[in-house]
Structure formats: C-alpha cells, structure tokens
Amino acid sequence: MHDPALFPSVFEINIDNEGKAAAEKAPAETDAAAAATTVTDVVEAADTAADEAAVEHVPTFAELGLPRAMVRELTRLGITRPFEIQAATLPDALAGRDVLGRGQTGSGKTLAFGLPLLARIAEGKPARPHHPKALVLVPTRELAMQVADALRPLAKAMELYTGTAVGGVPYDRQILGLQRGLDVMIATPGRLGDLIQRGACALDDIEVTVLDEADQMADMGFLPDVTELMAKTPAGGQRLLFSATLDGDVDTLVKRFLNNPVTHSTAPPAAAVSTMDHMMLLIPPQEKFKVTAAIANRPGRTIMFARTQMGVDRLVEQLREVGVRAGGLHGGKTQSVRTRTLAQFKEGRMSVLVATDVAARGIHVDGVSLVVHIDPPKDPKDYLHRAGRTARAGESGAVATLVLPKQRRSTISMMEKAGVAKPAEHRLRVDDPKLVELTGAQEPSGRPVVDEPEPRFQRGGQRRDGGRGYGDRGPRQYGDRPFRERSYGDRPQGDRPFRERSYGDRPQGDRPFRERSYGDRPQGDRPFRSGDRPQGDRPFRGDRAQGDRPFRERSYGDRPQGDRPFRGDRPSGDRRSAN
C-alpha cells in the first residue's frame, strides 16, 4: 500500500466549478499527466527499494544453520555470503532431505553440497577403517582434486578427514588412508570400484552420497558403474545430486535412488551465455594456426579446446616451437603430469592451457579471460561447459570460436541451440587489426620455449591424499646433520662398537684372531696350500699316495698306453690327418 499523501496533485482538482474546469481543461490534463508520472515513479522507486531490501536480506551461513566452527573457517577463507544455489539448497540438505540441484557453471555447487555433508557427518562417530561415512562421486580426476581442495580446510575445522580415490596414481596411499579411517571419500567411479574389489573399501557406513556433474558421468559412459556403486550404499542414506544440466540418463538415477527429492534450479543452462561475449571468427584454412598462435600469445590466461588428444599434443608442440608457453591437458596423460600442468597454469607459469573436454567440467581457474574453440563442439552442452571456464562468479569474459568456411552453418545452428542468438561474425586474417581489437592477439617471438628446471626442494606442501608432500622437510643443506669426523677406526660412541680395523688385530668377540700368513692356517680351517697337506685331503701332486693314478711325466709324443692316441702318430682307422 502506498500513502495517498504522496500524490497531492490527484486530489486538488476542483470538480464543483464546471466553468473553471472547462476553462482550465488543458492545464488540468497536463497536471494529471504529471501526477500519473509521479505515481509511476514512486511505485517504481518502491519496487526497487523492495528488491534491494530482498537482496540485503540474503541469509548468512550462520542463519542457515551451519556449525560455528565451519562459519569461522568460511570467514577466514573470505567467504561471508552464500551464493544463490547455496542459500536455496542448504536448509533442505541440512535437514537430511534428498536434493536435486541445478546451477550454471561457477555458481558455487561444490560448497552447496560440501557444507551440509560435512555438517551432518560431524555429528556422528569417527569413521571406521575402510568404511568412509560420506561419498562424493565425480567424473574426472581434476574435478576430484578441486573438490578435495575446497573441502579440506573446512573438514579440518570440523576434525574430519578427507581422501581421494582417482586413477593414474598408486593404490598404496589411497589404501593407507582408508586404513586410517576417512570420513569423506572423493572418488571417480572406476578407481572406487577397483578399491572395493580389492577389499580396501566398503560402502556400508555411507550416510551421505553426492553425485557431482551427474550428466557428464552419464555422457562419459559411467552410468552402469555409478548405478552399481550407489546400490552398495545404505538405502536410507541421504542423496544429493548436483549438475549444470538435469536431463537424459540423469532421470534414471533420480527415479531409482532419490527419495522424494527437493528440486532447486537457480538458472537454466543457457543463462550463462548472457554473462560473456561470444564471437565467431571466420578464418581461411591456411591461416588457422597463425591466427591461433597470435591469439595464444595474448596477455592474460587463455584456455583453448581441441577435439582430440592428438590435436592437443600437436597444437602444444607447435605453439612452443613459435615461442608460446603452453601446456596440454587430456585423459591420455598421467595424473602427475595433469596435476603439474594445471598447477603451472593456475600459478601463472604458463598462460595457455590446451585441453580436450576433460577440462570443460568443474575445473575452476581464476582470471581466465578468454576461451577459444579451436575445433567447434558438436553438442550445445559441450559449448556451454567449455564457455563456462570464463566469466565465473560474476567476472567478465569472452568466448571465441574459430570457424572455417565449411563449418559456418553447423556452428551457427549449434550456438543457437546453446542459447547464443545471432552470434557476432567477423571475417579475419592474421594481419587484420580487428583480430587484435577483439582478442588482444600478438605475433609470437618465433623462439622455441625452453623449459626451466623446477627447483628441487620448492615443490613441497600437503599432498592431495593428505600425506606429507615431497619437500615438506625443507631444503636440506650441507652440514644439516650433526657434525662428526669420519676417521678410519674412530667412530663416535652410540654407533656400532668401536674397533680398530687393523690387519690381523681384531678385538675379542669378533671372528677369531688369525694371522693370515701363507701356510700357517689354524686347525679347523681349510688345509694348508703348502706342500705339507694333512692326511685325508687330496694328495700332494709331487708325492701322490699309492692307489692313485701313477705319476708320469707328460712329454710330447710319449703318452702311456690306454690313453687317447697321439695326434702326431694316429693309428690306422682313425680320422685322417688335417693335412
């Protein structure tokens, strides 16, 4: 209700004096129009104030019911207000209900399921060995590492332990973590299934199960594995399913495993495209690499997407040959290489990351200002998730798609399905100033990139699996160990017993003393090798005992009878002489 006193001009019209009303008809109409404008302005102002008040009254994490220790840790991390998806899902998730959440990339889905998960399992008993209490299933190793990094400080504040189970790394550390007792297991379906088959992990105690990026797991063919794993969890446990899109095979999981879920959708999948600039760069085929290299050499962080693993490796090699420091990321690389490459990109040691769609889901890197589709995606969902690597959490960004003449029609159709209506088209060549204006492209130096060796002792820190990282002890300098002079025969007390190692003078308690002289060996050892061998051994060749072979002087041509014939005088019937 609006106060009528705010609108005085409406009630000051003199309706009793018809003459004056007729005479002043035109001014009255003008005043009425002004009054109507005033009413509209006041109503709009009131609505704006109401909207601002609604924004200001977004509940805090404490008001949403999170434990104090968790709120303090969030404040220490600089997270003071929940995102929209978090504010919407936290009350139901904390109450133990099954939740179906959809939010665009960069909307804060990780904490939307991570916060209630940690809060709920912190109320119970510690985890038993090999029996985690909460399970988070993700499609890729990189996303597992990212979720673990986001939840680890919060879990520590709640005195909980987290661990990862992903492929490409040894089993030993993952099994050791399970033996010690993990409260939260963050895993990819394949490796978790292997650990269960080995008897290292059981899902009997799972209280909360989370599926993150469920639609991608279905697209990657993980649906049978995910179904089998979820069937091993207790039927009465809580299930939380989060993704940027909820369609297709995800419905099968929802109907089978979620019990009367509460659905929260903060934005449609195509809503993210409105927060970034989209460009189609129409280029001649013979200049595709030159244009790519110029864009890659721009200032700022850039992610480029190629369709195949071979295409990624080839493009990275070509970019480094012309002077662009780039790194590749795809599923064919070992986990250590993938982790190191992503860390170098996040730390700014390389400015260009070339990847397949393995990096299109869930990987968050701050400050990515441009995403480039070297190969235009065929699926609109892939376009959305690739583009979602920029313009995250309210930041600005741009998305450029390199399009050859034969790809133009199919690319426009795909982008329209993704929600990009009438994308801007630009026909460019490598020397076109418009390319610089749109992307900040710069010509590469042409000098091949030479990798600098990493400092050996500066790669320490907490390992992903929660153990001590390489280099945690700090650099070892010469002289760090306690000084002791290592002189022959002068070992300090507390080490092996002191003994002077002189030839033939060994102290008592060691092997018996004996002087190693030729022909004078004590009894019980091997016999002398001199000419006085004791009885029972082989006879001395110069004085052979009776019954042995007779002593004979071996002279040429005088072999005793019964031996092989002399070769110089072979009897008849034998082989002929070589002559």
| pLDDT tens digits for range 480-527 | 444 444 444 554 455 554 444 444 444 455 554 454 544 455 555 554
Distances (CA, A) of 154 to 7, 441, 461, 467: 55, 41, 18, 17
Residue 445: exposure state from Cβ atoms within 10 A (0-12, 13-18, ≥19):
exposed
Considering the domain architecture, whether residues 263 and 285 belong to the same structural domain is answered as no
CATH for 228:
3.40.50.300
The domain of 30 spans: 4-56
Considering the domain architecture, whether residues 344 and 422 belong to the same structural domain is answered as yes
Considering the domain architecture, whether residues 248 and 374 belong to the same structural domain is answered as no
Report if residue 527 sits inside a domain.
no
Considering the domain architecture, whether residues 155 and 16 belong to the same structural domain is answered as no
Examine the pLDDT at 126 and tell me if it is beyond 80. yes
Considering the domain architecture, whether residues 289 and 403 belong to the same structural domain is answered as yes
Report if residue 573 sits inside a domain.
no
Backbone angles phi, psi at 102, to 5 degrees: -130, 130
Last residue of a domain, one of 267, 297, 332: 267
DSSP 34: H
Residue with tokens 């050791």: 176
Report if residue 149 sits inside a domain.
yes
| pLDDT tens digits for range 40-88 | 444 344 444 444 444 456 789 999 999 999 999 999 999 988 988 899 9
**Angle of helix 109-121 relative to helix 68-76, nearest 10 degrees?**
140
Instruction: Give the pLDDT confidence score for residue 160 in this predicted structure.
Output: 95
Last residue of a domain, one of 406, 439, 472: 439
Q: Tell me how far apart the alpha carbons of residues 245 and 282 are, in angstroms, rounded to a whole number.
A: 30
Report if residue 337 sits inside a domain.
yes
Collapsing DSSP states into helix, strand and coil, what is residue 326? strand
| pLDDT tens digits for range 324-352 | 999 999 888 887 888 889 889 988 899 99
Two tokens, residue 405: 């003449």
Considering the domain architecture, whether residues 255 and 311 belong to the same structural domain is answered as no
Report if residue 244 sits inside a domain.
yes
Considering the domain architecture, whether residues 311 and 201 belong to the same structural domain is answered as no
Last residue of a domain, one of 267, 295, 327: 267
CB 458 within 8 A of CB 445: no
* Residue at 470: amino acid letter: Y
Beta strands in 283-378 (DSSP E): 301-305, 326-329, 352-355, 368-373
Mean model confidence pLDDT for the chain: 76
Query: What is the pLDDT confidence band of residue 469, given thresholds at 50, 70 and 90?
Result: very low
Total domains in the fold of the chain: 3
Considering the domain architecture, whether residues 250 and 309 belong to the same structural domain is answered as no
DSSP result, 459-497: --SB-TTSSBPTTTT-PPPTT-SPP---BTTBPPTTSSP
Report if residue 327 sits inside a domain.
yes
CB 264 within 8 A of CB 384: no
Q: Tell me how far apart the alpha carbons of residues 11 and 308 are, in angstroms, rounded to a whole number.
A: 74
Instruction: Give the pLDDT confidence score for residue 423 in this predicted structure.
Output: 84
Q: Tell me how far apart the alpha carbons of residues 144 and 332 are, in angstroms, rounded to a whole number.
A: 17
Considering the domain architecture, whether residues 100 and 191 belong to the same structural domain is answered as yes
Report if residue 477 sits inside a domain.
no
Considering the domain architecture, whether residues 94 and 181 belong to the same structural domain is answered as yes
